[in-house]
A and B are shown apart, each in its own frame.
Chain A
Amino acid sequence: MHTQEDKLHRELQALNRRVGILLRICMVISIVTILAGLIMFNIKGGSPMAGLTPISTLPSEIAQLNPAAFITAGLILILLMPVAIIIASFAHFVATKERNPIIVCSILLIMLAASYIFIVK
């Protein structure tokens, strides 16, 4: 009984480490992207109250070295990080067959998807 609990505890600690590394990688990439946009803005100039670049035109705007597009891309990556935590946790709990956390993660992912659709519409 204790061995099973210990095993689950060790696996949870391994998940913690993986999520920690994932967050750090995403964070560094997003911060570098935003910083690049900020430096370009200081060089090129522009309206400080400009809006975000739409996702549909993001690749072409990045290709044209639009500072706002770089910042938008970095912000999108930041916003994807919490989702990545939930997906990584869900995958872990499925692997360890822990029923309650699987249900919680599923509800949360459905809620986030539903809220995104609700907000956009």
Chain B
Amino acid sequence: MPDFNIWVLAGTGLFAGLLGAMLGIGGGVFIVPILTLAIGLPMQVAIGSSLISIVINACTATSVYIREHMTNLKLGLLLATTLVPGAIVGGILAANLASPALSVIFGLVMIYVAYTLIPKKQRKKNEPASGDSPKTIKEKEHASHAWLDGCYHDPAVNEDVTYQVHRPLTGMVAGFFGGVISSLLGVGGGIINVPVMSGVMKMPIKATIATSSLLLCITALTGSLIYAHNGFIHPYVVAPLVVSVYVGARLGATFAHRTRGTLLIRIFIVFLILTSILMITKAFFTTGNK
């Protein structure tokens, strides 16, 4: 039985909530490694706790983003139609995999996320300000899904940003895998959704992060139900996490549209690489505690 301190859980939640909301990734990439590596909880308990925290984190961020009209509600709901089945598949897989196997998959996925963030950072340097939408549009291709287009006011540049959504079908396919990863590893589909919406669907980064938060609410809900049903949710582990994630997410969503985030992304990449190495190493020294 792991001996955990309520303040360690609260600190973990605050950190995850803050960075999760600022990066639109839900915060699971911080919660799962800390709960398993620092506190010693079984992987499935860490994932279940993380998923509940992601729901509160994402709902808190969404409540802020949606009031500022940054969330593309229609697109978010469309992508959720493939995320939900993906989340069910991921939850079933996780329930049948041993902790060390999950740790290795988690570590590998985090290395992938770190990799996807590097070219994104380089691409940002060529953009005018805060990832604004592209100017060139293929009207005929676009007409069928014009109802997904969005606009919002960007306070950082004090401008109305109007954008078009490209390749929604690709987004839906990627969304399925985002759902699988979310439930399998408790990290939220944001690690898949954010690069796809920003890179493939050509959405402005702020609308991407806001819409990703909405998606995380729905995906993590499905995953949470599976873990709760399998007995992996413990109220006294989840409660301090949830309360502190709420505080962190409110702060994070407030800071998100005031920051450029380059330094944040660099720190995040270093964190991902270090924790992935730790998770994989731990898996090879664990005899299996599923």
Contact = CB atoms under 8 A, between A and B. Distances in A.
Contacts of A38: 6, 236, 239-240, 243
B243 A34 contact: yes
Given A37-B239, A82-B59, A101-B74, A75 B66 contact: no
Nearest to B240: A38
Contact of A89 (B73, B239, B242, B246): B73
Interface of B: 1, 4, 6, 52, 55-56, 59-60, 62-64, 66-67, 69, 71, 73-74, 77-78, 80-81, 84-85, 87-88, 91, 147, 151, 214, 217-218, 221-222, 224-226, 228-229, 231, 233-240, 242-243, 246
A65 interface: no
Contact of B214 (A27, A67, A75, A85): A85
Given A34-B243, A37-B239, A71-B235, A101 B67 contact: no
14 contacts: A16-B73, A27-B60, A27-B63, A31-B56, A31-B242, A35-B239, A38-B243, A41-B236, A48-B234, A74-B239, A81-B59, A82-B218, A101-B147, A108-B80
Contact of B239 (A26, A71, A83): A71
B84 A68 contact: no
Given A27-B59, A37-B235, A48-B234, A20 B77 contact: no
Interface in A30-52: 30-31, 34-35, 37-38, 41-42, 46-52
A19 B65 CA distance: 11
Contacts of B56: 27, 30-31, 78
A7 interface: no
Contact of B226 (A23, A37, A53, A119): A119
Given A20-B63, A37-B239, A81-B55, A49 B246 contact: no
Interface string A74-108: 11001101110110010000000010110011011
Contacts of B66: 16, 19-20, 23
Nearest to A49: B234
Contact of B69 (A13, A51, A107): A13
Given A41-B239, A108-B84, A78 B52 contact: yes
Contact of A16 (B67, B80, B88, B228): B67
Contacts of B52: 75, 78-79
